[in-house]
Amino acid sequence: MPLFLKPIFHEKVWGGNQLRQFNYEIPSEHTGECWGISAHPNGRNVILNGPYAGQTLDQVWKDHRELFGEFPSKDFPLLCKIVDAKAPLSIHVHPDDAYAYEFENGQYGKSECWYIIDAEEDAEIILGTTLETKEELQRAIESNTLLDNLRKVKVKPGEFYFIPAGTIHSIGAGITAYETMQSSDISYRLYDYNRNRDDDTQLEIQKALDVTQFLAEIPSVIPENEIIENHKCSHIVSNDFFTMVKWEVSGTLNYMKPREFCLVSVLEGEGNIITDGEIFKLEKGSNFILTSEDLDSVFEGNFTLIISYI
């Protein structure tokens, strides 16, 4: 039986109201994130169905590892969210696993991949810097010229971007994006547009300087498309941290899980999933996990899915 999850919302100074389009009841007009699949301490999804209803995903991960193929990790490894950036996010960077393990109490680092769901005309993301050394970066921060030394990329709906740990980045205003990432909530902010926040978020310049990687170019994401049973399947990214695949289903798809457990989000459309004879309704905004017990799954309907797994 799939584990359907109750979404968790985070209000942000840069958030808006676009998450309503996913059939969500958001808490305010400044809702920046929906954590759709998460066992992270900062947002633990509650199971909505079946024998584990009412338990959080981290509880089920701890007590019923057989549902995840006895995956050898202390913590649930992935996190999937939707971001609504009415205003630009802070300029920030994430640590890799080694740095996070040493300086952030053994947590995961964070590499992530973005799928652009919607974007206003001329909307852009920040992806890396034109600077080449830590010293140059520190001078740019101190002289308030950081924004002049960042790579800005105009984006369109349907595009994907991979952000390795250590890459300075930000999602710009007018963008709604789906993210698959390592299960981490560690961000080191370099610049926040001089906003007054009502939370305890602070710039963390030294840690950001410690972890920033000065890449000549950011790895491009060129999806590999194929047609399977008349459905379009786009293999987006596959690395040591996760694989991310987009499915455009129209009709009936007999889905064979590539790993013991898979994370699934419905970004458009509606229909059903049938697993081992049981029928579950799917709609835009549904988030669930296919477990090791879900051996035979059939998607029926017309929808766009993002499926992520290790």
Q: Where are the alpha helices (DSSP H) in the chain?
A: 57-63, 97-103, 134-142, 205-211
Q: Is 112 assigned a ligand-binding role in the annotation?
A: yes
CB 286 within 8 A of CB 265: yes
User: Residue 106: is it exposed, middle or buried by C-beta count within 10 angstroms (0-12/13-18/19+)?
Assistant: exposed
Q: How many CB atoms lie within 10 A of CB 284?
A: 16
40 annotated ligand binder? no
10 is in an annotated binding site: no
C-alpha distance from residue 263 to each of 80, 168, 205, 244, 308 (Å): 8, 27, 34, 9, 5
The CA–CA distances, whole Å, from 307 to 7, 151, 236, 245, 248 equal 17, 29, 10, 5, 11
Residues serving a catalytic function are 189
Please choose, from the candidates 172, 174, 205, the residue with its C-alpha nearest in 3D space to the C-alpha of residue 188: 205
Chain-centre distance of CA 156, in angstroms? 18
With a CB cutoff of 8 Å and minimum separation 6, the contacts of 302 are 249, 250, 251, 269, 270, 271
3-class secondary structure, 142: helix
Which segments are annotated as binding site? 94, 112, 169
Which segments are annotated as binding site for Zn(2+)? 94, 112, 169
